[in-house]
Each structure stands twice: as C-alpha cells, then as structure tokens.
Copies of this chain bind each other. A is one copy, B any other.
Amino acid sequence: MLFFTQCFGAVLDLIHLRFQHYKAKRVFSAAGQLVCVVNPTHSLKYAPTRCAAAQTSTEQGVLPPCHHHEAVYDPQLVPCMCPLFSCPWEGHLEVVVSHLRQTHHINILQGAEIVFLATDMHLPAPTDWIIMHSCLGHQFLLVLRKQEKYEGHPQFFATMMLIGTPTQADNFTYRLELNRNQRRLKWEATPRSVLECVDSVISDGDCLVLNTSLAQLFSDNGSLAIGIAITTSKVHNAEADM
C-alpha cells in the first residue's frame, strides 16, 4: 500500500514538473530554449568556515560582504563559491566546476539561451537557487538569492558569475529577462568573476533586484522563470589570457 502511495506521489510530482516546463516554455516562446527547474537551497550561514566566521555579528538574514581576497592565503586557491559557504573546500579555479557538480550536485546546462525556473519562491530568506551554465567555451554560475537587506522585507537578487578570472569575465555580457502578464524586465551586465564574492555583488546591489511584489507579478504558481542569454562583448580572443 505504501509502495503504491509513493508511486502515486512520484507521478504527481512528474506531472507538476511537466506542467511547470510547459508554462515556462509558453512564456519564453523562442523555439529550442532549454528550461531547467531549479529547487532552492537554504543558506547554511552558521557553519564554522572562514566566510561564516566574519558574519557572526550580523543580524539574522542579513549577509554582509564576504571578503574572500583577504582570507585566501594562497592566491592560486579558490574557496568554495559563497552561495554554499558552509563548505570548507578550496581548490584551483580549474576544479571548481567538478567540485560544484560532484559535492553539491549543482546541474550544468549547455546552450547560449536557457530558461531558469526557480521553484518555491515563497520560502523564507535566506534562500539560494543556483545553476551552472556552460556556454561559449566557459562555465558560468547563476545565483538567485532571496535575502532581507531590510529586516522583514525580503528581496530577490539575481546575478551571473564567470568561473574564471575578472579579465576573462570582461569579454562577456549576460542578460536576465523576466516576461509575464504584459510586463517585461531585462537586466544586462558584464558578469563578475567568482573570485569576487557573490555576497559583495549583492550587497553592492549591482545585479537584478526584485522587490517581493514585483517577484510575485512575474511568478506563476510560486515559480519564477528567468530567461538567460550570454554573448561575447568583445571581438577579443577570450582564450588569450587563460
């Protein structure tokens, strides 16, 4: 009996997932766009890591800038990405992708244009939605974060970071697009390097920022579909400085 109940639950989940895919595809009608459903990750901000240690004095839900550069003693080593800062791992830039995939099971998607479908937008802050995006010979990290910069008023912050150096990041432009209910919001910028901490980008507000009310206007049944596109911003050979 338990087996049948579980099977029925799994079938319902699949139907719900398929329905979400369909909805996101309808919104982003460009043929061939890959829709990826991304589930939330709660930030484990009290774990005793270098990054978390700097945050012990802060109030709940408010994440201050995290100064990686000060904490990294070997400049060749990169700590684990900030959205998963409970992880004590550190390694070279070249092995960041395999660490994120293997240890944190973060999906990696191929293609110049994809749709990031973040589920369960109602979950309390702090919450992250993370995915990797492989495009134009490089890997990018998309982070959507729900955070309370002002107590009691959660906001959503979305940014894209290159798993590479700042010089390499300067060669690209990323676009995030929300489109629903006769409203469209687009953000275009140069991605930051993962060597600059995502917390700094968010505390600087140098990313796509959504109030809860605006996020609700763009959400559909608790999910937010973000269209992502990456282009090269210079004719410059991106591989030259690798």
Q: Which residues of B contact A150 (CB under 8 A)?
A: 150, 153
Min distance, Cβ A201 to any Cβ of chain B, angstroms: 11
Residues of chain A in range 169-192 having any CB-CB distance to chain B below 8 Å: 173, 182-190
Q: Mark A195-237, 1 if CB is under 8 A from B, else 0.
A: 0000000001110111111100100000000000000010000
Residue of B nearest to A211 (CB): B205
Size range of the chain A interface in the assembly: 20 to 34
Q: What B residues does A186 contact at CB under 8 A? A: 184-186
Chain B contacts of A182 at CB under 8 A? 173, 189-190, 233
User: Which residues on the B side are within 8 Å of A188 (C-beta)?
Assistant: 183-185
A window 140-161: CB within 8 A of B: 149-150, 153
Does A209 lie within 8 Å of B206, measured CB to CB?
A: no
Q: Would you give the shortest CB distance from A130 to chain B, in whole angstroms?
A: 22
Q: How far is the CA of A126 from the CA of B185 in the complex (A)?
A: 25
User: Which residue on B lies nearest to A150, using beta carbons?
Assistant: B150
Instruction: List, in ascending order, chain B residues with CB within 8 A of A149's CB.
Output: 153
With contact pairs A153-B150, A217-B205 given, residues A187 and B184 touching in the complex (Cβ less than 8 Å): yes
Please, which residue of chain B has its CB at the minimum distance from the CB of A184? B188
A168 to chain B, nearest CB (A): 15
Q: Are A205 and B214 in contact (CB under 8 A)?
A: yes
Contacts of A187 in B (CB 8 A): 183-185
CB-CB nearest in chain B for A214: B205
CA distance A212 to B149 in the complex (A): 13
Contact A213 B204 (CB under 8 A): yes
Distance to closest chain B CB from A155 (angstroms):
8
A97 to chain B, nearest CB (A): 26
Q: CA–CA, A92 to B211, complex, Å?
A: 35
Q: Are A206 and B217 in contact (CB under 8 A)?
A: yes
Chain B min CB distance to A232 (Å)? 13
Tell me, rounded to whole Å, the shortest Cβ–Cβ distance linking A209 to chain B.
6
Closest 8 interchain pairs by CB?
Answer: A205-B213, A184-B188, A186-B186, A150-B150, A183-B189, A205-B211, A205-B214, A182-B190
A-B contact pairs, 5 of them (CB 8 A): A150-B153, A182-B190, A183-B187, A185-B185, A185-B188
